[in-house]
Amino acid sequence: MEDWALIRRLVADGVPQRQVARDLGVGRSTVARAVASDGPPKYERPAVPTAFTPFEPAVRQLLKGTPDMPATVIAERVGWTGSISWFRDNVRRLRPEHRPVDPSDRLTWLPGDAAQCDLWFPPKKIPLEDGSKVLLPVLVITAAHSRFMVGRMLPTRHTADLLLGMWLLIQLLGRVPRRLIWDNESGIGRGRRHAEGVGAFTGTLATTLQRLKPNDPESKGVVERRNGYFETSFMPGRDFASPADFDTQFGDWLTIANGRIVRTIKARPVDLLDADRAAMLPLPPVPPTVGWVNRVRLGRDYYVRIDSNDYSVDPAVIGRFVDVTADLARVEARVEVRHEGRLVAAHDRVWARGMTITDPAHVAAAKVLREQFQCPRPTPDPDEGLVRDLTDYDRAFGLIDGGLADGAADGAADGAADGAADGEVA
């Protein structure tokens, strides 16, 4: 390569080819070929038939119908008996020619148009109340135009918790994006239908929730790339004592990350956020109805279930209907059970699973009610309430204090006299 460039430079400077060949110690034909060539010399090995050549047409035919067919299956189908590693190398060389092409368009995100939503699972288990450690999802929303990021850890992937998380993060944005873009998350919807409660949520916010079709990663690539960014820039070297601790550290780090220049847009998300917000929709005047909602008749064990945990209720309302609601307050949620508008139970929501949360006051009240129920009751007297004062009868018949009233006495005397006279006459 160096000789080729030197020969062309010397000849271009007017040095005779014979002298160039003598000075460089090469043949004159070599100098002549270097001057006449359009590019540097390169070694090209001529293609020669190999043991794979007779099988290549059959391999191409199989790849044409099934581009992802494993090389071992292809080898079996075509009857290959040689080295499987060399066969794999040849199949790998042919496979791109038969794989279908999936072009992706350049997407332009207008201010306020869309926010991409996704669940990120940090590769580190988080300690919970019962001492266990589990992998928990983190709901992340990225404004597509400004690349501004917000996130919150959730206890489950249930629809109720996803809607609670979205509402909290939208409040952090301060405005409502015109589109919320999701993939086919089961808590958001499957097929052509949204999950129950999603339609009411987006209707209250006056926004649109768009679920992407399968095999369309580019349409949600903004938030997908952020998930990888979190794992390489936020997670290394960190430990978390609880979900609350994770949210605190993650929120502080997002404040720093939103102030860094994004290579693709050559700007800082925090600088573009105002323009993004200005084109978004305002927050609704009435907040959407989100969270866990259930109406049950309280049983004798005076416990209600939220997710997989049981929470005690005032036993005084056993047998009545109670409205059970649970929401997210910061990291922990409150579980409130109300009967006819009266608060009859309140607990911190526990993120661990299969636990029983009991208020000591409810146990004490149940003990009192149980003792009252088990205490023997006095046997009622069958004659009790049947004896009546005779004065009532005297008054009813005109008798007062055992005697006759004046009019009654006169009538009685006259009647007696008349009877005696009749007897005498008879």
CATH number at residue 129: 3.30.420.10
What does each C-alpha distance from 67 to 41, 75, 90, 170, 223 come to in angstroms?
37, 14, 14, 43, 30
Q: Which domain holds residue 187?
A: 114-278
Q: Do 67 and 196 fall into the same domain?
A: no
What pLDDT, on the 0 to 100 scale, is given for residue 115?
94
pLDDT of residue 249: 96
186-233 tens-digit pLDDT? 899 987 889 999 999 999 999 999 998 877 767 788 898 999 999 999
**Sorting pLDDT into bands at 50, 70 and 90, what band is 421?**
very low
Whether residues 273 and 296 fall in one domain: no
The pLDDT assigned to 381 comes to 62
Q: Does 162 share its domain with 274?
A: yes
**pLDDT (mean) for 165-186:** 93
Question: Which 3 state secondary structure label does DSSP give 181?
Answer: strand
* Mean pLDDT within 332-338: 52
Q: Under 8 Å CB-to-CB from 220, ≥6 apart: which residues?
A: 116, 118, 181, 182, 183, 212
Identify which of 117-121, 184-188, 343-347, 376-380 has the greatest average pLDDT. 117-121
CA–CA gap between residue 74 and residue 368 (Å, rounded)? 77
* Same domain? 144 vs 6: no
Given a cut of 90, is residue 91 above it in pLDDT? yes
Among 38, 70, 76, 35, CA closest to 55: 76
Residue 143's closest CA among 248, 244, 281, 287?
281
Same domain, 358 and 414: no
Condensed to tens digits (0 to 9), the pLDDT of residues 150-172 reads 999 999 999 999 999 999 999 99
CA-to-CA distance for 70 and 66, rounded, in angstroms? 9
Average pLDDT over the chain, rounded to whole?
A: 85
Residue 413 pLDDT: 45
Q: Which residues pair with 152 in a beta bridge?
A: 139
Contact 169, 153 (CB under 8 A): no
What CA–CA distance (Å, rounded) separates 243 from 126? 7
Q: Judge whether 103 lies within some domain.
A: no
Task: Provide the pLDDT for residue 385.
Answer: 58
Q: Which amino acid makes up residue 136?
A: L
* Residue 381 covered by a domain: no
Helix orientation angle between 84-98 and 71-78, rounded to the nearest 10 degrees: 100
Based on the fold, state whether residues 120 and 241 are members of the same structural domain.
yes
Q: Are residues 216 and 358 in the same domain?
A: no
Pick from 91-95, 376-380, 388-392 the range whose average pLDDT is largest. Answer: 91-95
Does any domain span residue 249?
yes
Instruction: Dump strand ranges (E) for 82-170.
Output: 114-120, 126-127, 133-134, 138-143, 149-153
Asked if residue 413 belongs to a domain, the reply is yes
Q: How far apart are CA 85 and CA 406, in angstroms?
A: 135
Q: How many domains does the chain have?
A: 5
* pLDDT the model gives residue 44: 74
Q: Are residues 246 and 325 in the same domain?
A: no
Among the listed ranges 55-64, 341-350, 386-395, which one has the minimum average pLDDT value? 386-395
Residues in the chain, total? 426
Supply the pLDDT for residue 47.
77
Domain final residue, candidates 209, 244, 278: 278
Closest CA to 248 of 237, 233, 238: 238
Dihedral Cα 44, 47, 52, 56, nearest 10 deg:
110
Predicted local distance difference test score (pLDDT) of residue 382: 61
Instruction: With cut-offs at 50, 70 and 90, classify the pLDDT of residue 388.
Output: low
Residue 301 lies in a domain: yes
3-state secondary structure of 88: helix
Cα angle 265-269-270, degrees, rounded to a multiple of 5: 145
Question: Is it the case that residue 332 has pLDDT exceeding 50?
Answer: no
Establish if 283 belongs to a structural domain: no
Top-confidence residue, 411 or 235: 235
180, pLDDT greater than 80: yes
Are the C-beta atoms of residues 219 and 212 closer than 8 Å to each other?
A: yes
Handedness of CA 196, 198, 203, 208 (dihedral sign): negative
Q: Are residues 191 and 247 in the same domain?
A: yes
- Does residue 152 sit within a domain? yes
Residues 224 and 150 in one domain: yes
Residues 205 and 339 in one domain: no
* Structural contact between residues 62 and 78, judged by C-beta atoms closer than 8 angstroms: yes
C-alpha distances out from residue 189 to 143, 183, 184, 186, 308, Å: 21, 9, 6, 5, 22
Of residues 258 and 415, more confidence is placed in 258
Answer for the pair 335, 349: CB distance below 8 angstroms, yes or no.
yes
pLDDT (0 to 100) of residue 86: 92
Q: What is the mean pLDDT of residues 256-281?
A: 94
Closest C-alpha to 140, from 167, 163, 117, 164: 117
* 417 pLDDT tier (thresholds 50, 70, 90): very low
Most confident of 248-252, 263-267, 286-290, 402-406: 248-252
In a domain, 107, yes or no: no
DSSP at 106: P
Predicted confidence at residue 307, as pLDDT, reads 86
Q: Using CA of residue 188, residue 191, residue 197, residue 200, what is the dihedral sign?
A: positive
Residue 330 pLDDT? 37
> Are 345 and 315 contacting, i.e. CB atoms less than 8 angstroms apart?
no
Please name which of 163, 165, 154 lies closest in space to residue 203, comparing C-alpha atoms: 163
Residues 240, 360: one domain?
no
Look up residue 424 and give its two tokens: 């005498």
Distance between CA 231 and CA 399 in Å, rounded?
102
